[in-house]
Homo-oligomer: A and B are copies of this chain.
Amino acid sequence: MARWQPNAPQRLALAALELFEERGYDQTSVIDIAERAGLTKSTFFRHFRDKREVLFGGETMSDLVTAAIAGAPAAASPLEAVAAAMDAAGREAFTPERRDFSLRRRAVIAAHPELQERDALKGLAITAAMTTALERRGVAPLTATVTAQLASLAAAIAYERWSAPANTADYSTTARRALHEVRSAAAG
C-alpha cells in the first residue's frame, strides 16, 4: 500500500505524461499511450473514460477520501475527519516517490486548457465526495459543505507546495499545515 507500484493505471499515467511532454497533448492518442505503457486500448478504457482522465486517476481520489472520512473515529470533528483523509492521501497517493511525477503533471496540466478544465471539475467532484462522506457521519449539510470546501482549498495549496522542487516535507504534514492556515483565514 505505502510504496508506489507500477500497476496499470499508473503505468498508463506515466506513459501519457511522457508523451504529452514529448509531443503535446493533442498529438497523443489513447493508442499511443497504451502502446508506450505496454498495454492495450481496452485496458486503458477499463481505467479511464477518456484521454483527459488519464492524469486524474479516475475515481481513485474520491474513493480514497470517502473511505478515510468514513473510517475516522466516531468522536472526530468534521475538521479532524478531513485531516484523516489528507493523511490517507499522503500514505496512498502522494507518496515521496510520486513527487517528481506530480511536479511534471502540474506543468502539463498548466499548459493545456482542456486538462485545466478536467482538473477543476475533478476538484469539485472530490469536494462533493467529501461533503457526502461528512454528511454520512451525521454532520449538518452546511457544515459538511463548508468543511469540504475549506479542505479542498487546503489540499490544492498543499499539493502545490508538496510537489514544489525545493520541498522536503511529506504531503500529510504539508496538508495539515495548509488546513490550519485556511481554517484561520476563514475564522479571522
Q: Say yes or no for A182: interface residue by CB 8 A criterion.
A: yes
Number of identical protomers: 2
B153, A188: Cβ atoms closer than 8 Å:
no
Query: Measured between alpha carbons, how far is A3 from B50 in the docked complex, in Å?
Result: 45
Contact partners of A188 in chain B: CB under 8 A = 143
Query: Measured between alpha carbons, how far is A140 from B184 in the docked complex, in Å?
Result: 13
Q: Per-position contact with B for A146-188: 1 when CB-CB < 8 Å, else 0?
A: 1101100100010000000000000000000000011001111
Q: Say yes or no for A142: interface residue by CB 8 A criterion.
A: yes
Known: A140-B185, A146-B153, A146-B186. 8 other contacts (CB 8 A): A120-B124, A124-B124, A142-B157, A142-B182, A143-B188, A146-B185, A149-B149, A186-B187
A150, B186: Cβ atoms closer than 8 Å:
yes
Q: Say yes or no for A111: interface residue by CB 8 A criterion.
A: no
Nearest CB in chain B: distance from A137 CB, A: 15
Query: Measured between alpha carbons, how far is A48 from B121 in the docked complex, in Å?
Result: 21
Contact partners of A124 in chain B: CB under 8 A = 120, 124
Nearest CB in chain B: distance from A148 CB, A: 10
Nearest CB in chain B: distance from A79 CB, A: 10
Chain B residue at minimum C-beta to C-beta distance from A140: B185
Contact partners of A10 in chain B: CB under 8 A = none
Chain B residue at minimum C-beta to C-beta distance from A186: B186
Nearest CB in chain B: distance from A41 CB, A: 24
Query: Measured between alpha carbons, how far is A153 from B140 in the docked complex, in Å?
Result: 15
User: Could you tell me which residues of chain A, from 115 to 156, have a CB within 8 Å of some CB in chain B?
Assistant: 117, 120-121, 124, 140, 142-143, 145-147, 149-150, 153
